[in-house]
Amino acid sequence: MKNKLTHISLRFPWIVIGLAVAVTIFFAVQFPKIKIDTDPQNMLKADEPARLFDAKVKEAFALHDMIAVGVVEDNGAFRPDLLNRIYKITADIEKLDGVIVEDILAPSTVDDIKQGSGGTMVIEPLMGGEIETQEQADYILSRIKSNPVLRGKLASDDGKAIALFIPIQDKNLSKKLADEITGITKKYGGAEKYHIAGLPIAEDSFGSQMFKQMAVAAPATFLVIFLLLFLFFRNIKIIIAPMVVAVMAVIWSMGLLILTGNTVHIMASMIPIFLIPIAVLNSIYIISEFHAHYKKYSHKDNAIAHAIDELFVPMLFVSATASVGFFALAVTPIPPVRVFGIFVGFGTMVAWFLSLTINPAFAKLISAKTLHRFANADDGQGLLARFLHGLRDFARKHYRPVIAGAVALVIISVVGLSKIVVNDNPVKWFKKSNPIRQADMAMNAHLAGTYMNYLVFESNDADAMKRPDVERYIEAVQRDLERDPVVGATTGITDVVKKVRYELFGADSTKMVIPASQDEVAQMLFMFEMSGGDPGKLFKFVTPDYASANLWVQLKDGDNQAVRRVVERADKYIADHPVPQGVTVNWAGLPYVNTVWQKLMVGGMREALLVAFGIVFLMMVSLFRSWRWGIISMLPLSLTVMAIYAFIGYIGKPYDMPISVLSSLTLGLSVDFAIQFIQRMRTLYSRNQSFDQTYHDIFEGVGRAIARNVLVVSIGFVPMLFSDLVPYVTVGAFFLAIMLVSGFVTMLLLPAITVMFQRVLFRTAKQSVVEPLEVQPSEV
Amino acid sequence: MKKLIQLVSLLSFGTLLLFTAAHAQDATDIMKKSHLAMYYAGNDAQMDVQMKLVDKKGSERIREFTMLRLDIADGGEQKYYTYFRKPADVARISFMVDKTNSGHDQRWIYVPSVDLVKPIAADDKNSSFVGSDFTYEDVSGRHWSEDNHKFVKEDQLNGKAVYVIESVPVKPYKGFAKRVSYVDKTTFMPLKEEYFDDKGELIRVFTADKIDDISGFATVTQRTMESVKKGSKTIVTFVGTKYNGGLKDDIFAERYLKNPPRDYIK
């Protein structure tokens, strides 16, 4: 097969290229059908219990995702002019399409239960119209502070910050609405600062920015790689083929992804970025090899055929192992990760196939003169070559310290791995300078929090939530949760009952308690409805049949770690204090759902990594037909994975979504060098039967190819380090780290090991199999 | 010739003005008649009311109460007494309204579980009545003088001849920006009302589903208010409506809140 493919490509270069272009066009025309999905909720399967429950809760309590608008004025926000501005801003926001007008929480929309004239009890808007005096402004703040339903939520106790919560019909509208709201705040705003925050806006903005970033990052990467290739090979015609292969591999995979009806999620948007280096790697080996052979044979077809012949097996295994790393992602329970893995895996094999066909076909079309110039450009004494010679001599001379260093690295890494902290927060996918991040920090510093979780109490019995024991239990859970500093406020049906009772008895604070009888609870709630309270607002906290209640748990921090801590706190309270009979308690809300998919993701990734590791190991053993070589070939990738994740552990960077996905990439890329190195070493040895000669030669052709790959991929991704989005910076940094670490491990540790164990490793090829196994260091 | 044209133009314009004014007058008149027929039938009235509150998902809540109404002046002051029977946990709550039309209505409620009579503010007529899709104003009627009325056309609705009237609040009002009423030409019952917000979007629809003649008074014995945007609706049924039963003014007093007048409330 290997000869056939090359043969055909050499014989019919135009047909091969034409066919490849035709297929590429076929996949490219699928692109307009692209379906973009920026909803992180889809990280979970559609039938994932946590997601179903969240949807059920949203439906039952008519809850919507919310945009939080924060107004911060350090000299005090409760001034007539400022409140009047907010009044106008709110009125304008109400006119926007996609806003759930009746559920807006703002001074002019929320109801206040209070003492009216003549000993009446009245429920009316907190701010019924524009105000004139400072007294009115102060009064509004005092009403917020004395209302458990509003306190901390609508304004900070110091009066420096005011929040508006804008519920929206669809999470995917949040970016658009946030932009429109920004326009409105600019129209009316004064010296005070306006912030727009909330998880939906972070997630939706990330989605839209992600594609913009990709549109910049992928071409930038492409360009840098192109320049680097030019720097190495000094010949534009030669390096066109690798770039064409990369582009085609990307188009084929993305086209197939779109054609098969899959949506392009956050993960899938990274496919091009992952495929470009993988596609380029193969070509660099071919060109390097071709260069060496052309010098020898000075015949185009022969040189190509020989180069492919040498490379076919290692390239097949390199590509196969890389795809295994990606295909293994199919075992994760996260649909977008599965799609990502399958299509990067597919793209990897496409890149392999195209490398074997497009590269020869292009080379065939290049004039002899060009090739001649290319072949004669000697790279044997370049900077890279001299550096490699340094490594070669160092590894040979100091193989013991090198191996000892590797052992030390493993020990240090194990310690570092234990320090890894699993955490994520979509808001933190933006850099600190980003307005979304700034808004998040400002609002959570002043107010009860922009992260809304829901603790839902359910029963099969109508009216169960009117039971005093249930009400008191909810109240106790609230007090317990509020002891965690991250919990800014909790609001529930209990607060409404107590507040009504307090006002009913003429603002008597001794009456601000849960009533003793169910009838009384019912009558307090009835009073709420009788006094003009909007039942729609009541039913955010309780279902109309009073069978379920919803406790709003507002968090100042959306880190999964913080959310989990609060969840565990509730779990513990519930474990220690039995829930009233017939009642069950469960969590819902976007921050909570995020913790669920993260948990699945971490577990799934670990599993995928282990599966891939096992398969790759078996592939290596079968490739080299040797357990020893199999084990050695796994060293660079094992050390790389350990070192990088240990580093993350040490610097305290949380193990988040992008980092967990990158483990599979590490696997695929790091094993590459080892395969090339070992396979070539063994081929060389079988020819010259001399370890010294082999050791010397390995640092020339394939050594340089590996070094070039290290440089191309690591430098190629430097543009990503300047991205506004943290996950992309992470990906860029990861590519850099993977390349450098696995490159060094391959070019230092593997040579040192071959030096140390040369007798054992190269025994069978040269000597009789019966020679007793003995390990002894060679004398250098 | 030129003068003639001017004269004719002037005359036609004047006629047009007169015509419009006449129709505005008609429209206001129709709405006044409708209001009196709907909310001031008889001198007094008593009925058992069942309210079925149906939310978006179709789940229902029931409210049952007895309502007594006494008119002090047609189109003017009225007194209402409401005694709740269901749901069971709010039974015995009673509620009284003194509607004055001067903008200073008074409302009191008796809460049996804490044995307390509490006046509740009545400033916001647009607030929901006991959590239903009807507002307080829908229960006792919105006075015709609060809106400017425009005659749109005569039409047919479900086989009945109706006047179609468009009403716009004189002062900006939270409840609606425009209302279109379909008033029965013979009984002056509003057969249908559509409420629009300031975006021009339909927010609520009232329909008179069943109209019976009771002691010579056309009475809407079943009516529905649908909140189009919220997706909820409330269906109200009147049972045992009785007019001119001779209700006395003295039962509309605070002490009768705690001890309902047994003559009317059993």
- DSSP labels for chain B? -HHHHHHHHHHHHHHHHHHHHHHHHHHHHHHHHHHHHHH--SSEEEEEEEEEEE-TTS-EEEEEEEEEEEESSTTS-EEEEEEEEESGGGTT-EEEEEE-SSS--EEEEEEGGGTEEEEE----TTSBSTTSSSBHHHHH---GGGEEEEEEEEEEETTEEEEEEEEEESS--SS-SEEEEEEETTT--EEEEEEE-TTS-EEEEEEEEEEEEETTEEEEEEEEEEETTTTEEEEEEEEEEEE-----GGGSSHHHHHS--TTT--
Q: How far apart are CA A436 and CA A193, in angstroms?
A: 13
Q: How far apart are CA B211 and CA B232, in angstroms?
A: 23
- Alpha-carbon distance B52 to nearest alpha carbon in chain A (angstroms): 13
Contacts of B109 in chain A (CB under 8 A): 527, 530
Q: Does residue A167 contact residue A99 with C-beta atoms inside 8 Å?
A: yes
Chain B CA closest to residue A467: B89
B177 — contact with chain A (CB < 8 Å)?
no
Q: How far apart are CA A203 and CA A197, in angstroms?
A: 11
- Report how far Cα A245 is from the mean position of its chain's Cα atoms: 27
CA angle A349, A352, A355 (to 5 degrees): 150
Q: Does residue A364 contact residue A301 with C-beta atoms inside 8 Å?
A: yes
A526 — contact with chain B (CB < 8 Å)?
yes
- Report how far Cα B51 is from the mean position of its chain's Cα atoms: 15
Q: How far apart are CA A194 and CA A71, in angstroms?
A: 5
pLDDT at A776: 41
Q: Tell me the pTM.
A: 0.83
pLDDT at B7: 58
Q: Does residue A225 contact residue A1 with C-beta atoms inside 8 Å?
A: no
- Alpha-carbon distance B263 to nearest alpha carbon in chain A (angstroms): 26
B94-99 vs A193-197, strand pairing mode = unpaired
Tell me: the pLDDT tens digits for B11-65? 555 555 545 545 655 889 999 999 999 999 989 999 999 999 998 888 888 999 9
- Per DSSP, what are the bridge partners of residue A585? A457
Q: Does residue A348 contact residue A278 with C-beta atoms inside 8 Å?
A: yes
As a whole-number percent, the residues of chain B with pLDDT over 90 amount to 52
A538 — contact with chain B (CB < 8 Å)?
yes
* Gyration radius from chain B CA atoms: 21
Chain A CA closest to residue B55: A544
Q: Does residue A777 contact residue A756 with C-beta atoms inside 8 Å?
A: yes
- Alpha-carbon distance A504 to nearest alpha carbon in chain B (angstroms): 7
Helix intervals (H) in A366-434: 368-376, 383-397, 399-418
Q: Which two tokens stand for residue A644?
A: 């990088």
Q: How far apart are CA B219 and CA A753, in angstroms?
A: 101
Is the predicted pLDDT of residue B89 greater than 70, yes or no?
yes
Contacts of B87 in chain A (CB under 8 A): 522
Contacts of A533 in chain B (CB under 8 A): 127
**Low-confidence spans in chain A with pLDDT less than 70:** 1-3, 297-298, 375-381, 763-780
N- to C-terminal Cα separation, chain B: 81
- Alpha-carbon distance B18 to nearest alpha carbon in chain A (angstroms): 38
Q: Does residue B47 contact residue B242 with C-beta atoms inside 8 Å?
A: yes
Domains in chain B with CATH codes: 25-258 (2.50.20.10)
As a whole-number percent, the residues of chain B with pLDDT over 70 amount to 88
Give the mean pLDDT of chain B: 87
Judged by CB atoms closer than 8 Å, whether chains meet at A121 and B118 is answered as yes
Per-residue burial over A284-302, b = 16 or more CB atoms within 10 Å of its CB, e = otherwise = bbbbbbbbbbbeebeebee
pLDDT at A416: 92
Question: What's the pLDDT band for B134 if we cut at 50, 70, 90?
Answer: very high
B62 — contact with chain A (CB < 8 Å)?
no
Judged by CB atoms closer than 8 Å, whether chains meet at A95 and B112 is answered as no
Contacts of B134 in chain A (CB under 8 A): none
Nearest to B63 by CA among B54, B75, B76, B72: B54
B158 — contact with chain A (CB < 8 Å)?
no
Q: In what order do the strands lie in the sheet with A161-168?
A: A161-168, A65-72, A193-197
pLDDT at A709: 85
B201 — contact with chain A (CB < 8 Å)?
no
Judged by CB atoms closer than 8 Å, whether chains meet at A116 and B121 is answered as yes
- Interface size A-B, in CB pairs within 8 Å, comes to 93
- Per DSSP, what are the bridge partners of residue A72? A161, A193
- Alpha-carbon distance B242 to nearest alpha carbon in chain A (angstroms): 26
Which helix (H) or strand (E) segment holds residue A458: the answer is strand A451-459
Nearest to A706 by CA among A289, A209, A255, A160: A289
Quick one: CA torsion of A122, A125, A126, A131, rounded to 10 degrees? Answer: -110
- Alpha-carbon distance A529 to nearest alpha carbon in chain B (angstroms): 5
Tell me: the pLDDT tens digits for B238-262? 999 999 988 888 888 888 888 888 8
Judged by CB atoms closer than 8 Å, whether chains meet at A121 and B53 is answered as no
Judged by CB atoms closer than 8 Å, whether chains meet at B109 and A527 is answered as yes
Tell me: the pLDDT tens digits for A23-69? 999 999 988 888 888 777 788 888 889 999 999 999 889 888 889 99
Is the predicted pLDDT of residue B224 greater than 90, yes or no?
yes
Q: Does residue B78 contact residue B70 with C-beta atoms inside 8 Å?
A: yes
- The DSSP secondary-structure symbol of A745 reads I
Identify which of B59, B114, B119 has the shortest CB distance to residue A120: B119
A516 — contact with chain B (CB < 8 Å)?
no
Chain B CA closest to residue A536: B131
Chain A CA closest to residue B90: A523
Judged by CB atoms closer than 8 Å, whether chains meet at A466 and B61 is answered as no
Is the predicted pLDDT of residue B122 greater than 80, yes or no?
no
Which helix (H) or strand (E) segment holds residue A35: the answer is none
Nearest to A694 by CA among A671, A677, A670, A673: A677
Contacts of B80 in chain A (CB under 8 A): none
Which sign does the torsion angle of CA A44, A49, A50, A55 carry? positive
Chain A, 51-80: which have a CB under 8 Å from a chain B CB?
A: 59, 62
Burial of A491 (C-beta count, 10 Å sphere; 0-12/13-18/19+) = buried
Q: In what order do the strands lie in the sheet with A451-459?
A: A487-491, A548-555, A451-459, A583-588
Q: Does residue A246 contact residue A279 with C-beta atoms inside 8 Å?
A: yes
Judged by CB atoms closer than 8 Å, whether chains meet at B120 and A529 is answered as no
Tell me: the pLDDT tens digits for A248-285? 999 999 999 999 999 888 788 888 888 888 888 888 88
Nearest to A456 by CA among A579, A584, A555: A584
Judged by CB atoms closer than 8 Å, whether chains meet at A532 and B128 is answered as yes
CA angle A580, A583, A584 (to 5 degrees): 120
CA angle A328, A286, A250 (to 5 degrees): 45
Which helix (H) or strand (E) segment holds residue A105: the answer is none
3 state SS for B158-213:
CCEEEEEEEEEECCCCCCCCEEEEEEECCCCCEEEEEEECCCCCEEEEEEEEEEEE
Mutate to test the interface with B, among A63, A92, A519 (most CBs of B within 10 A): A519
Q: How far apart are CA A269 and CA A720, in angstroms?
A: 14
Identify which of A59, A466, A520 has the shortest CB distance to residue B114: A520
Q: Does residue A451 contact residue A203 with C-beta atoms inside 8 Å?
A: no
Three-class secondary structure of residue A422 per DSSP: strand
Return contacts of A404-411, CB within 8 angstroms, 24+ apart.
Answer: A406/A635, A406/A639, A406/A745, A406/A749, A406/A752, A409/A639, A409/A642, A409/A643, A410/A639, A410/A642
Burial of A775 (C-beta count, 10 Å sphere; 0-12/13-18/19+) = exposed
Judged by CB atoms closer than 8 Å, whether chains meet at A504 and B118 is answered as yes
pLDDT at B24: 57
Identify which of A122, A527, A536 has the shortest CB distance to residue B111: A527
Q: How far apart are CA A658 and CA A655, in angstroms?
A: 8
Contacts of B225 in chain A (CB under 8 A): none
Nearest to A726 by CA among A492, A430, A460: A430
Nearest to A89 by CA among A160, A5, A19, A185: A185
B98 — contact with chain A (CB < 8 Å)?
no
- Per DSSP, what are the bridge partners of residue B48? B66, B239
Nearest to A471 by CA among A459, A482, A453, A483: A459
Tell me: the pLDDT tens digits for A596-623? 988 888 888 888 888 888 998 999 999 8
pLDDT at A57: 94
Mutate to test the interface with A, among B118, B125, B126 (most CBs of A within 10 A): B118
